[in-house]
Structure 1
């Protein structure tokens, strides 16, 4: 288990591990996270394996996550070695509309709070956490660029935004000389593949590295949930986890315990058996092969979970097994995406076989770690 290779993040020169340590589980404020001793163990396990990419947010566990990341980093004297990413957008002050959102006032307020909690004077990668449907992209990119010029952040990221918004933000950066977007963080897994409709092309052509969150579908792809065998209660599942605490009407994004997803899990289990690997490792390995993916955010509440995840890239998944997983998890192709399929495109190109994608020079590069020379 060694993270002995790195990825260039988008078209930047920043080198990050292919797996990022997700720290939303650092803290027990939300009722399902890890206590401080366990979180310390997870942090140590990750960095001792060679990992350098830590993911947090001001929202996570009411600020505890950032505080512990800063504390653990300082205790190991690793600030210069680590790439620390955090995010802003969410409001922790009900009744104060300007304590949330993407706008400049909240960006600067949130940035100062994150710097204080992390115990650092700069943040390596600063994300807009979620689009607020109001703030213009030029305001965000100018404010981000000002923070870069002030030395408070090094690189700019976007998370959970529409593709058109990310495209506009990157174009504004190009035209106006702002710091460009280096990373885009999105939900992406075998059961959530909608990123492939727009974002894979967007990322590779405009120079953003995709950073995938919830790569195991909130635990569903690890096999921890199973459909009930109780014929009287078809909606029930067996297993334990936070998804079961949400009842029969989970909020958007948490509705993972569906018949479709369990059919994907069944095929994943069969493929994992053929590969002689745990289901979680196969799911992560499959995802890392996808176009534009620079790094995968892996979280855990137990050391054994993280150890298993960190071994997910230590093997090659056979092409025929990848094809089986692709077919089992193929997402719907609503308008206009069905028009871009090969059959429909053939009508445009006169039934002549042409390349589906032009040569892509903006794609990220995966580079090996420097090897000792013995000198």
Structure 2
């Protein structure tokens, strides 16, 4: 794999990120420790160094497995990203949320499970709509100054909150968010309304989760294969089926897997993007790794964009209307009626 800079930083990470939400067998699914080790071996041998986990994944088992693995490997080779916010125990009312108390507690527990002295990238996992953003930023900056965290990032948060946070951090001299983790795929393009333009503006790398829409974009559900997806899921509705069929059509034309086409689409959207590829089997990861050899043509991108397009709403659609033209004298916009 090639390496990319993560956001506005000098941190070099692999062009794919290994998702480890499935490391552990709690809830009746997932990879045991031996299989998880084999997956991480495969990823590292392909040049992968960027690993994503969270304190909540498999009730902490994911972090424990990663900790066991890296304790017997070169810790400095790997870029470990984990998250705080969601509860990993029910001991007290502050054992969840974005607040500073939970942040500090969660980081200490993650460090123990990961068997490391520092976390490379710490994500706020999901916005709680309670904690002031300056409390979050100051807490993250303190952790970075203490050497327990190297970089701050954020996940599943409204664009206006992230924008306010990074602007405030720049003003105060605090560490800014360098990466934005969001659900993004051909079946979930609504982040294009606010989130991805905001990330591009601030130079943040987008790390899409569920880039294959829970496996729907591989076509396996159209083949009748079973999975953890619910029958009533929007990933299986008429629109999603139409999009998936187009992905399969292009994959057959190129002689690659549908999953590779769907993954590569997220990597060719005009902004820095490193999709998170989850795996509970070595074969799944091996297939996903093939995407690094694929480039989609403009024609293929156009076909995928058209079949999966979502309305941007106001002001996005307003900006894109053909009736809005640029005045050649000063770049002002003139509104003209269609006749």
Higher relative contact order (CA 8 A, sep 6+): 1
The Cα of 1:294 is off from its aligned counterpart by 3.0
Corresponding residue number in structure 1 for 2:337? none
Query: Is residue 309 of structure 1 aligned with residue 295 of structure 2?
Result: no
Corresponding residue number in structure 2 for 1:104? 100
Match of 2:68 among 55, 68, 71: 71
Distance across 1 between alignment mates of 2:84 and 2:167: 22
Q: Secondary structure at the match of 1:256?
A: helix
Distance change in 2, residues 1:344/1:97 (3 Å): farther
Query: Is residue 203 of structure 1 aligned with residue 189 of structure 2?
Result: no
Q: Secondary structure at the match of 1:294?
A: coil
Residue-by-residue CA offset, 1:238-285 (whole Å, 9 max, x unaligned): 321110xx454xxxxx54221110110011111111111110011111
Distance across 2 between alignment mates of 1:354 and 1:320: 30
Corresponding residue number in structure 1 for 2:164? 168
Match of 2:214 among 191, 204, 218: 218
TM-score in terms of structure 2 length: 0.94
Distance across 2 between alignment mates of 1:193 and 1:32: 28
Distance across 1 between alignment mates of 2:220 and 2:332: 41
Corresponding residue number in structure 2 for 1:118? 114
* Aligned ranges 1:13-52 → 2 under 5 Å: 13-52=10-49
Residue-by-residue CA offset, 1:26-80 (whole Å, 9 max, x unaligned): 00102221111111111100001000100000000000000001111122x2210
Q: Secondary structure at the match of 1:323?
A: helix
TM-score in terms of structure 1 length: 0.85
Corresponding residue number in structure 1 for 2:148? 152
Distance across 1 between alignment mates of 2:253 and 2:65: 40
Distance change in 2, residues 1:320/1:109 (3 Å): same
- Structure 1 range deviating more: 107-116 or 315-324: 315-324
Structure 1 residue runs without a partner (length 5+): 228-237, 249-253, 357-375
Distance change in 2, residues 1:351/1:33 (3 Å): farther
The Cα of 1:304 is off from its aligned counterpart by 1.1
Distance change in 2, residues 1:247/1:261 (3 Å): closer
Corresponding residue number in structure 2 for 1:6? 3
The Cα of 1:315 is off from its aligned counterpart by 2.3
More helix by share: 2
Query: Is residue 341 of structure 1 aligned with residue 327 of structure 2?
Result: no
Distance change in 2, residues 1:74/1:92 (3 Å): closer
Q: Secondary structure at the match of 1:97?
A: coil
**Contact persistence 1:275–1:317 (CA under 8 A):** no
Distance across 2 between alignment mates of 1:82 and 1:171: 30
Match of 1:241 among 227, 239, 244: 227
Distance across 2 between alignment mates of 1:353 and 1:177: 36
Structure 2 residue runs without a partner (length 5+): 334-339
Distance across 1 between alignment mates of 2:145 and 2:41: 32
Residue-by-residue CA offset, 1:191-247 (whole Å, 9 max, x unaligned): 1111211122211221211111110001000111128xxxxxxxxxx321110xx45
The Cα of 1:342 is off from its aligned counterpart by 4.2
Distance across 2 between alignment mates of 1:328 and 1:158: 30
Q: Secondary structure at the match of 1:307?
A: helix
- Structure 1 range deviating more: 267-276 or 218-227: 218-227
